[in-house]
Structure 1
């Protein structure tokens, strides 16, 4: 089985399986900057349109097959089945080989066994979505994380945080003037970052559904990244470039990470007026280097427009 980095996801765009332009996105005729695409058969498709959506998905996969498969530089392609019953059917489609994996909606300990039985194709990666009331209980999340590690850890790219569903379970909706961190998600996201992150899982950030406030999206992305989240769901193509720009690594962090992982790094050293300790910062450095590999580096500019690079100061 191939290995997929969670940082390869970038901005993840969900598109209903009923859309007629899915093939254009898969082959980058549309949205060439997109890193990952989810063809949705769940919330984005009405009950009366399920058969149409499944037929359209089959047409998409047949067209990909007719072209000899997806191109290597196209977006990652995932399908979100409606439930484990639908997933079991899709799991056995021969053409599902053209999909990287499934997004698992509303995963809990109660339905985990059904999903394990449904998605038996070892080539399909999984991105479980945490979006039920159980998510507010850290004990339940510890239990779920342990169960996922036991049987599915090698197939899980990342866990997705379903912010809208979680807010909905409380009868709440985001205030358009604040980030999600000013809501009960300000408890949930740090808790999940700790509980699931400490078990080795990457997590992606909830969608930002306000299209008229890109500056606020930028603020929320800064908080997402500060909590170690590796990507973010995009509600609209206009958000893709901003999300992926924010995921770029600062030059200062890149230089610091390179020094920390160096075989000749001192036990403690100073870099740009910050103390670095490889014994405690090594995992952070590895993640920074992986993020930079996928998203690149932001080079700061001085007031005169020239790039500025600060040199490392290592204490011997």
Structure 2
């Protein structure tokens, strides 16, 4: 099956792989409350379904009164998981509430810390972020385990126009100082909407909510540059599971599904309200974002299927990066449908080949419909 779908299959990587590779490989980062009674089994179940990265949440997904029990549940289940010799969990992160939790949880995990790739840091600003990153550095030194940070950019100071520039500058100073520890930056769009009493409906993407789109643009502008100073910025969460009643027509064209006799798949995607998700994933990439926060397992496959590099993208990227093109110039795409300008498109090509490494390259006649139908990549 994989050989039929892939021109070049995804590479094999582990939690110990280089940070640049891991940042590109995060894919659909699935969040799970730390209170789940079968947490260890749930983690392995999702790993078997293709989840690459997972966040165990001690913050907004649980009530204030449940934090102590959630921590105990998390420690118990990760210790259990570490004792299973054949267990292959995804990249695991813990979303904490305050900096003191990081060294405390690292200490309580003991040998099970080997399962952990890092921590997710909520409502990140310069003022709040420095104590989090200092705590993470201390936990790393105490345990001997490489630990990454994934700051969540979701504070009102970042949203409000009068404080946005100063807040972005402070975040940039902080993450640059701890660059080796910051794996990716995550966007908390739900919190952005909350500040104005908004909630985007399922037929609209984050980019249709202009106040949110403006923040995304400014974050990418300041923190997602391709000149070596930027970071991987991941896409916002899609918070819908299944639509009850539609106001607008579905956003998935019929023709790509009819061509491969997959109309039932199209209907299933529409019924589960995933056509809007597919559109937002494409807009994420067009706006410089890579990967996506997910709160439901049904969202993982669409994110990963659309992360596979098309044969056309791969062909263009390879042509642009050929050694003989180092001097620049313009060439016609091998698909004869576009211009490839070597110097302006180089950063895009490099990013595309990193994505090709971790998600693979589809065969020339394989599109996202076939990948969705097959349930790959895994």
The alignment of Structure 1 onto Structure 2 pairs a total of residues equal to 299
SS for the counterpart of 1:206 is: strand
Relative contact order, higher structure (CA 8 A, sep 6+): 2
- 1:296 paired residue among 353, 356, 360: 360
- Deviation string for 1:11-45 (max 9, x for gaps)? 01100111123212433476521111100011111
Q: What residue in structure 1 maps to residue 175 of structure 2?
A: 148
Give the TM-score, by structure 2 length. Answer: 0.74
What is the alpha-carbon distance in structure 2 between the residues aligned to residue 222 and residue 162 of structure 1?
18
- Deviation string for 1:172-222 (max 9, x for gaps)? 111332111111111111211111112311101111112232111111111
What is the alpha-carbon distance in structure 2 between the residues aligned to residue 58 and residue 38 of structure 1?
14
- 1:75 paired residue among 76, 82, 90: 90
What is the alpha-carbon distance in structure 1 between the residues aligned to residue 290 and residue 86 of structure 2?
27
Establish whether residue 196 from structure 1 lines up as the match of residue 258 from structure 2: no
Establish whether residue 259 from structure 1 lines up as the match of residue 319 from structure 2: yes
Q: What residue in structure 2 maps to residue 92 of structure 1?
A: 107
- Deviation string for 1:250-298 (max 9, x for gaps)? 2111111111111122622111332223222222111101111111223
> Is the CA contact 1:23–1:63 (under 8 Å) kept in the aligned structure 2?
yes
Moved more, 133-142 or 78-87: 133-142
**After superposition, where does 1:1-316 map in structure 2 within 5 Å?**
3-4=18-19, 5-28=22-45, 31-68=48-85, 71=88, 74-93=89-108, 94=110, 95-119=112-136, 120-122=138-140, 123-136=146-159, 137-150=164-177, 152-183=178-209, 184-198=211-225, 199-212=229-242, 213-265=273-325, 267-268=328-329, 269-271=331-333, 272-299=336-363, 301=365
Relative to structure 1, the CA distance from residue 142 to residue 101 in structure 2 (aligned partners, 3 Å threshold; closer, same or farther) is same
Listed as ranges, the gaps of 5+ residues in structure 2 are: 1-15, 141-145, 243-272, 367-378
Give the TM-score, by structure 1 length. Answer: 0.88
What is the alpha-carbon distance in structure 1 between the residues aligned to residue 118 and residue 83 of structure 2?
20
> Is the CA contact 1:221–1:246 (under 8 Å) kept in the aligned structure 2?
yes
Listed as ranges, the gaps of 5+ residues in structure 1 are: 303-316
Q: Give the structure with the higher percent helix.
A: 2
